[in-house]
Structure 1
């Protein structure tokens, strides 16, 4: 299979070749022809499988084939919504690269950057807008963006948009879009909420799933180390140092936890930085750039900050704490093993997190055997707490959150 066989024009084929891509990925093979046929698409694929090109290339082909009106006015004809700033930046960069040999213009709008600069770029006229929902709503209120001519609408990582509570913003944006348009929805995971959203957005869509639903990439080796909570930092520092791992991405559940862990790992002699929502956009971008360049060896991130990160050849992802949502585990380890590469995902699991591990295993429909690293075995003489009851899941998560924040867990009433 070649890109030429998918129906792309020569200009885009040249752009793809310049990026060093020789053959399309499975999601591109399935999605590009369907989009070129004018179908609405609901596509499921893991991150790092080339899904951005799967929707960007056909949209660029459509737009470049159209002639602008006699006035020369450039209208927004394609809107791509992403849940985070980092993903918006990544998608915009791809659109610019693929469309370099066309006269199409793309604008990037997201929070945390100057809204006046973004307004000026929109005034100059753009064909494609890549945006986060919140900033797009701000621009709509200021009447700085006209979406009445949008022909192509993309929801990228729709599952994360729902997780982040963007449904209200999505509904407001939909109200100003033309009812006649082609809509594309891409999601790493599918659940009832995603299917409910798809019914509101899509018209007789083609469902594309290139992997088994809600599964982790087979390119990623998953290891689980059982370890006492107070020895997690010691264990991961030992692994990084003894194995000479470079560019290690570590996930924590909280911003405070990310900062504290980064500080302690620096004391271990590992150049470490943290990124999360309380950091300025500039600080996050600098930390990420230093990580990419190898100046920073370890990057500690929260789930929201890391969503959309695209780091070439990232080999190591560590779940310092398991997430409360099993879907987030899939997103986390999807940062490695991208574009056909291989990766290693390490999870450090203490006794109190076993119920979270069980939820991950249920989602993956597979068991992840725990192992002990010599010298870091869990202390089995400690009092083992009873497993939380399954019918009190909210209480379980609340107590785990309190522990993560360093608070004394709330006692259950009997």
Structure 2
């Protein structure tokens, strides 16, 4: 099956070809006809399977083939795409621009961490497609800068992550602003019970598409576990990078402080590295990602939420420097490699504190991850496990611990802002103000569970 058999216009097919794509992926083959038929859709696909084009292409087809008739000359927001993080919003925005290059449609991406005023100005001139993180969208709506009463198509992308980040209340507030008659598309990496509950309330007689087996990692990713003492993880990682001559490695830590500390240590080892996390400004995050893609730095150290939505072509190596607290996050992490037709390697450095986290991950995968040991790095059997509290390993020597912040740094239930945007204020408390970037208005609200990443 080719793209021209899916019912897309010549202008869209031309843009797809210009991006170098010839054949649709499984999620695209299944999702595009459903969306074009006007039905609601509940779709599950692993990251890297082309799901963004799975909803972007038919969305553009529907909007371009049915021009909106407005009483005024102003363009109204006809399609709203909600995403959990800034990076994912930017990535989707780039795809929308690329695929609509030959269409007379305007699009805009809005998220926190940057000035709200330019976004308000662009909205005032009118846009057809709006890609947004929930908090910034509500900031704009609160200031009457955006009218959502004409939305025809709603897309919730990475819905599982939005629930995990505590955005359910924001999502409900957004839904209340939308017209009752609309098409709803829900994309999620997993079909958890929480996602099914959301779908039951949001979707009307939806078609269901599930490309990958539930909660599985791509078979194109070679996974392995290396048991090592916590205090020797950095030494082992540096040796692996050096001996393997790895030129591009994405490394995950549980905490912001852990990401900073590890990047600093790797640079001292002569390995160029940078960290991205919620306390980094959007400009710093964008620069670090660009340098990583361009090969100016070899290692990008990231927290889970900051890395959500990263799209790096043919990324060869992912390292779990610390295992995630939530097993599903393991699947999301290693899914940064092995994308599309590429293969990849995912290595987890596991200390005695993390044995339970490893068991939880393997229970989710329904298989054991192969174990490997390197001579000289065998764990010391006399070291006892210490609890992992709020994403931090207790005791001394933990590369991921040590940040003495009242907000904690990682687990569900931490009293902290969600990091979908507006989370770049560093350690200084920011005074909430009208029009502040997303999350700032709600920074002191402990009711919403979120992980500060």
Q: Secondary structure at the match of 1:186?
A: strand
The residue aligned with 1:25 is 25
The residue aligned with 1:258 is 259
The residue aligned with 1:46 is 46
Describe how 1:178-327 pairs up with structure 2 within 5 A. Answer: 178-327=179-328
Measure, in 2, the Cα distance between the counterparts of 1:400 and 1:85: 22
Q: Secondary structure at the match of 1:358?
A: helix
Give 1:73 shift.
2.2
Q: Deviations over 1:142-189 (max 9, x none)?
A: 000000000000000000000110011001000010111000000111
Describe how 1:8-407 pairs up with structure 2 within 5 A. Answer: 8-69=8-69, 71-380=72-381, 382-385=382-385, 397-398=388-389, 401-403=392-394, 404-406=400-402
The residue aligned with 2:6 is 6
Measure, in 1, the Cα distance between the counterparts of 2:352 and 2:372: 13
Q: Secondary structure at the match of 1:289?
A: helix
Measure, in 1, the Cα distance between the counterparts of 2:288 and 2:27: 31
Measure, in 2, the Cα distance between the counterparts of 1:77 and 1:344: 41
Give 1:373 shift.
0.9
Measure, in 2, the Cα distance between the counterparts of 1:407 and 1:6: 52
Q: Secondary structure at the match of 2:197?
A: helix
Cα 1:56–1:20, aligned 2, differ >3 Å: closer, same or farther?
same
Give 1:383 shift.
4.2
Measure, in 1, the Cα distance between the counterparts of 2:268 and 2:372: 27
Q: Secondary structure at the match of 1:218?
A: coil
> Are 2:53 and 2:95, in contact at CA under 8 Å, matched by a contact in 1?
yes
Give 1:400 shift.
6.2
Deviates more, 1:398-407 or 1:284-293: 398-407
Q: Deviations over 1:222-257 (max 9, x none)?
A: 011011111110111101110101110000000110
Measure, in 2, the Cα distance between the counterparts of 1:279 and 1:101: 36
Q: What TM-score, normalized to structure 2?
A: 0.86
Q: Secondary structure at the match of 2:226?
A: strand
Q: Deviations over 1:64-102 (max 9, x none)?
A: 112343643211100000000000000000000000000
5+ long unaligned stretches in structure 1: 389-395, 409-414
Q: Secondary structure at the match of 1:176?
A: coil
Measure, in 2, the Cα distance between the counterparts of 1:45 and 1:51: 7
Superposition misfits of 4+ residues, deviation over 6 angstroms? none
Measure, in 1, the Cα distance between the counterparts of 2:193 and 2:161: 14
Cα 1:259–1:267, aligned 2, differ >3 Å: closer, same or farther?
same
Measure, in 2, the Cα distance between the counterparts of 1:343 and 1:200: 38
Measure, in 2, the Cα distance between the counterparts of 1:325 and 1:125: 40
Cα 1:397–1:104, aligned 2, differ >3 Å: closer, same or farther?
same
The residue aligned with 1:392 is none
Measure, in 2, the Cα distance between the counterparts of 1:371 and 1:41: 42
Measure, in 1, the Cα distance between the counterparts of 2:237 and 2:119: 42
> How many corresponding residue pairs?
398
Measure, in 2, the Cα distance between the counterparts of 1:17 and 1:407: 48
Measure, in 2, the Cα distance between the counterparts of 1:398 and 1:290: 33
The residue aligned with 2:446 is none
Task: Give the RMSD, CA atoms, in angstroms.
Answer: 1.4
Higher helix proportion (structure 1 or 2): 1
Give 1:401 shift.
2.7
Higher RCO (C-alpha 8 Å, min separation 6)? 2
> Are 2:223 and 2:370, in contact at CA under 8 Å, matched by a contact in 1?
no
